[in-house]
Amino acid sequence: MTPLHILYSNNKELLLSINFSILPVKKTSRATRRKKERKMALNLNPIALKYSHKYPSFALPPKPNRKSPKFLRASTLSSGSTEVESLKKPFSPPREVHVQVTHSMPPEKIEIFKNLEGWVEENILVHLKPVEKCWQPQDFLPDPASDGFHDQFMELRDRAKEIPDDYFVVLVGDMITEEALPTYQTMDPRTENSPYLGFIYTSFQERATFISHGNTARHAKEYGDSKLAQICGTIASDEKRHETAYTKIVEKLFEIDPDATVLALADMMRKKIAMPAHLMYDGHDDNLFKHFSSVAQRLGVYTAKDYADILEFLVGRWRVEEITGLSSEGRKAQDYVCGLPQRIRRLEERSQGRAKEARYVPISWIFDKQVKL
Ligand SMILES: [Fe+2]
């Protein structure tokens, strides 16, 4: 039996494995994953969805009823003060509140995905970026080995001087979200290793990242840093490509198994799309993700409105309203998801209407400067 892996490579994204399986997956090292990624192979085999990503959601999990095991932050420094500091501040970020459900998809559904192999090869692999077109952030930055480095560096500082602190908070949060993907793989996105849930989840999150990086690009341009705008815009276009791939897969699922797919969409939306970025931690701020999300919301980089817009976009993209022949459960799910964007918007308007006290918090990413939430 061969696994089906769709391997993306853009030098930045982790391998996005699409795993169709009812069996648990053995964890692999990052090096191994990279090796696999380089092969850009299409395999078939039992798998579990492995997640990259990412972005802030307005669907944060509720407060936990049990805490993650705490452990001290690892440090490479040997000074006594560091040790004391570490003892004072144990690592305490991710909080999961639900019991994880694994492998909820009925085994007989596996055949559906096995039969999709040829379709995936023809329709999804075309979205892989050729290796020669891959990029690294340093491609856009001055080369320290070049003669003009000092001048170019000063120019970079000059370009960035109009950029406000709160923009940097969002930019850093966005970048950490992308760079720290392996760390986030331990989170439970509540997709239960079901490809139905998994592809809906990734469709949503890829579009969320496309929107957020697109907005950081737009803001960077407004602040006069065209180079930074170019970097953020390049990331946004990669995210768009990922969104296209995942939404195509879900579109196909709606075509061949509309009832299960609409039920999965409703299920995922009831659970809410919580992005792995909520596990981010800087060793200081236990509410870092919340603070980062608040700043992103205030700057309009990623907002509650975007959450509703993404859902509305996907419902339209998959023509959910037009599906016929559903079971009664399926029709209920259809009604629920089609009406949900409006409900989210109404709730958001109500919360906007409530007077909020301006709050400032220090953010370690910008040397503990105070940032308005
Ligand atoms: Fe992506």
| Residue 237 pLDDT > 80 | yes
- For the cut 50, the answer to whether the pLDDT of residue 8 exceeds it is no
Tens-digit pLDDT profile for residues 275-288: 777 788 888 999 99
Exposure of 335 by Cβ count < 10 A (0-12 exposed, 13-18 middle, 19+ buried)? Answer: middle
Q: How many angstroms is it from 248 CA to the middle of ligand 1?
A: 15
Dist. CA 153 → ligand 1 center (Å): 30
Residues above pLDDT 70, as percent of the chain: 72
As a whole number, mean pLDDT of residues 93-107 equals 76
Ligand 1: distance of its center to the CA of 329 in Å? Answer: 32
Distance 131 CA to ligand 1 centre (A): 16
104-124 mean pLDDT: 93
Kindly report, residue by residue over 302-341, the tens digit of the pLDDT: 999 999 999 999 999 999 999 999 999 999 999 999 999 9
pLDDT of 363: 96
CA–centroid distance, 174 to ligand 1, in Å, is 12
**pLDDT reading at 85 higher than 80:** no
pLDDT of residue 137: 77
Compute the distance between CA of residue 273 and CA of residue 92 in angstroms, rounded to an integer. Answer: 22
Residue 123, number of CB atoms within 10 A of its CB: 15
Ligand 1 centre from 327 Cα, in Å? 34
**Cα 238 to ligand 1 centre (Å):** 7
pTM for the model: 0.75
Helix, strand, coil shares of the chain as percentages rounded to 5?
55, 5, 40
How far does the centroid of ligand 1 lie from the alpha carbon of residue 326, in Å? Answer: 32
Higher-scoring residue by pLDDT: 29, 130: 130
336 CA to centre of ligand 1 in angstroms:
27
CA of 157 to the centre of ligand 1 (A): 29
pLDDT digits (tens, 9 = 90+) for 238-250: 999 999 999 999 9
Is 50 exceeded by the pLDDT of residue 74?
no
**180 CA distance to ligand 1 middle (Å):** 13
CA of residue 239 to ligand 1 center, whole Å: 4
Q: For residues 155 and 139, what is the distance between their CA atoms, to the nearest angstrom?
A: 16
C-alpha–C-alpha distance, residues 50 and 184, integer Å: 10
